[in-house]
Amino acid sequence: MPEHAPRLLMLCGSLRAESLNRKAVEIAARAAEAAGAVIDRTAPKDLALPLYDQDDEAASGFPDAVLKLRERMQAADGFLVACPEFNGTMTAAMKNAIDWASRPREGEAQLACFRGKTAGLVAASPGKLGGIRGLPETRRVLSGIGVHVIAGDFALGNAHEMFDDQGNCKDDGVRAGIENVGTTLAKLTAAIKNS
What CATH number is given to the structural domain containing 155?
3.40.50.360
Q: Domain tally for the chain?
A: 1
In a domain, 75, yes or no: yes
In a domain, 1, yes or no: no
Cα angle, residue 113 at apex, residues 145 and 15 outer, rounded to 5°: 95
In a domain, 152, yes or no: yes
At 98-150, the pLDDT tens digits run 999 999 999 999 999 999 999 999 999 999 989 999 999 999 999 999 999 99
In a domain, 2, yes or no: no
In a domain, 32, yes or no: yes
Report pTM.
0.94
3-state secondary structure string across 110-177:
CCCCCCCCEEEEEEECCCCCCCCCHHHHHHHHHHHCCCEECCCCEEECCHHHCECCCCCECCHHHHHH
In a domain, 51, yes or no: yes
Range of the domain at 161: 7-193
